[in-house]
Amino acid sequence: MNTDERILQILDHSACLSKNQLLGYLKHTLYPEELRAVELHLSSCALCNDALEGLELQQDAEELLASMTLPALPALPPREKPKEKKDIPAAPAREEKAAAAAPAAKNAQPSAEPGGSHTLRPQRSLARPVGIAAALALIFGALWYFGFRKEHSEPQLAEKVPVIADSAGPAAGNSDPDTSHRPDMAAAEEAEAKAAAEKKHKDSLLLARKAEASLKARLDSTQAIAAQTEPRPLAPAPETASAPAEEDAAKTVAARKMAATAPARDDKEEPKKELSDFELGMQKFREKNYASALLYFRSAESDKDDPKHWEAVYYSGLCNRYLNKDRRARKLFERIVDAGAPQKKAAQKQLDDMKKKKDGE
C-alpha cells in the first residue's frame, strides 16, 4: 500500500463493528490484521467509539450483549399499499402447492401475533374463503370433466363407426371379400347412431353441442381417410372398409380428439406460469425501480449456468449505476469484460461513460 492509499484511508468508512469484533477488541483477542481494521473503523465512526466506551465501563459486557433479545414487535395498522406490492420473491410461489398453501399461511400469521387486533395485510382475511372456493371449483370442474367425458365417450365411438364405414368405401378397393357383410352392419349401426344422436339433439342444448362436435369429428375422419386413400385409384363399386382401415381411422380420430383437448388444457395452464427472476427484474427495471430490480437480478445471476447469467450481471451493474453505487457497478462491468461475455461491449461502454463522468467532475 503506497502513501497515497494510506492517506486516503482517513476518508474511508467501513461497515460498523460486529458484536464479535467489539468484544474481541475489548478482550484484546483480535489478530493484528483484524485489530488494524477495527482501529481504522473506530477512528472514523462515532457510533462504534461511543459503544466501545460504554461497554468498557461494563464488567460483564459479553453476558449483557448475549442476554439481549429482539423486542416483541407490535402489530401495525395497515398502511397504504406500497408500489412494489408484487415485489415478492418468485421462489416460494413457483410451486403450485406452495402457492395454494400461501393463503392459509398468510391468514394464520397475523392471528399468531399477540394482541394483533388488525392484520398486517387486510385483504388476507378474504384469502381463505376465496382459496377454498377456488379449490372446490377446481374439484367440481375436474369431476365434471372426467365424468362427462366418460359418459359420452361410448356413444361418440358408436357414431364414428358408420362414418368410417361410409368414408372408407373408396379405400376398400383391394380389401378382402370377407368383409363384404360390413356395409349392412355399418348401415344398421349408422341408423342407430343417427337415431340416438337425433334423440339427444332434442334432449338438451349441451348434448346438441356434443352432437355438433361428433359431426365435426365425422368430417375430420372423412378427411383423414380420404387423405389416406388419396394415392390409390378409386374403386368402381362402393366397397366396405377393411378392419385395419377402420382401426386406423378410429385411431386418427381419437388422436385428433386428444390433440384437440390437450392444447386446450395447456392453454389454461400457461398463464399461471411464474415469471423468472430475470423477467421480474426487467419488469422492475423498466419501472425504474432499480433497488427492487437489483434484488431480482442478483438472484438471477446466482445461477452461473443460466443463459441469462451475464445479462443479469449486466443489468445488476446498470441498477447499481443508477443507484449511484459506482464502485459496485464498476466491479460488475469489469467482471463481464474480463469474462468476455456477449455483453462485453456494452459493459465496456458503461465503464468508459463512468470514467468520463468521473473525470468530468
Partner 1 sequence: MIPLNPYSLSTNNYRNLNDEDLVHRIASKQDQEAFGTLYRRYAHLAMGMCLKYLKAAEPSKDAVQVIFTKLWTDLHQYQVRKFKPWFYQVIKNHCLMELRKKDPSQKIVAEWDMDLMEFEDSLHHKVNEEQLLLYLNMCLKSLNEEQRSCITRFYLDQKSYNETAALTGYSDKQVKSHIQNGRRNLRNCLRQKTS
Q: How far is the CB of 250 from partner 1 (least distance, A)?
A: 51
Shortest Å distance, C-beta 146 to partner 1: 33
Stretch of residues binding partner 1 (CB under 8 A), selected from 46-54, 157-165, 191-199, 253-261: 46-54
Residue 122 neighbours by CB distance under 10 Å: 12
Contact residues for 228 (Cβ-Cβ < 8 A; gap 6+): 171, 245, 248, 249
Interaction between residue 117 and partner 1 (CB under 8 A)? no
Residue of 34, 37, 49, 127 that binds partner 1 (CB under 8 A): 49
Of 11 and 205, CB closest to partner 1: 11
Q: In the window 240-299, what residues touch partner 1 (CB under 8 A)? A: 291, 295, 298-299
Tell me how many residues contact partner 1 (CB under 8 A): 67
Question: How many other CB atoms are found less than 10 A from the CB of residue 107?
Answer: 18
| 99 lies in the site for partner 1, by CB under 8 A | no
Task: Using DSSP, state whether 336 is helix, strand or coil.
Answer: helix
User: Which residue lies nearer to partner 1 by CB, 186 or 319?
Assistant: 319
* Residue 359 found at the interface with partner 1 (CB under 8 A): yes
Nearest C-alpha neighbor of 200 from the set 239, 156, 170? 156
Asked if 354 touches partner 1 (CB under 8 A), the answer is no
In terms of Cβ atoms closer than 10 Å to its own Cβ (0-12, 13-18, 19+), residue 12 is exposed
Based on the shown chain and the rule CB under 8 A, indicate whether residue 199 belongs to the binding site for partner 1.
Answer: no
Does residue 122 interact with partner 1 by CB under 8 A? Answer: no
- If the CB atoms of residues 131 and 183 are measured against partner 1, the closer one turns out to be 131
Closest CA to 51 of 13, 25, 12, 14: 25
Q: Convert residues 6-45 into a mask of x (bound to partner 1 by CB under 8 A) and - (unbound).
A: xxxxxx-x--xxxx--x---------x--xx--x--xxxx
Q: Which residue among 52, 158, 207, 275 contacts partner 1 (CB under 8 A)?
A: 52
For the purposes of burial, counting CB atoms within 10 Å of the CB of 169, is it exposed (0-12), middle (13-18) or buried (19 or more)?
buried
Element containing residue 67 per DSSP (H, E): none
Could you tell me which of 104, 111, 90, 109 has the C-alpha nearest to residue 135?
104
Distance CA 301, CA 316 (A): 9
Minimum Å gap between C-beta 114 and partner 1 is 11
Per-position b or e across 294-318, b if 16+ CB within 10 A of its CB: bbbbebbbeeeeeebbbbbbbbbbb
Nearest to 238 by CA among 295, 181, 168: 168
Query: E strands of 275-347, at which residues?
Result: none
Interface positions with partner 1 (CB under 8 A)? 1, 3-4, 6-11, 13, 16-19, 22, 32, 35-36, 39, 42-55, 57-58, 60, 64-65, 67-68, 70-71, 73-74, 76, 79, 82, 84, 87-89, 91-92, 102, 105-106, 109, 112-113, 120, 291, 295, 298-299, 358-359, 361
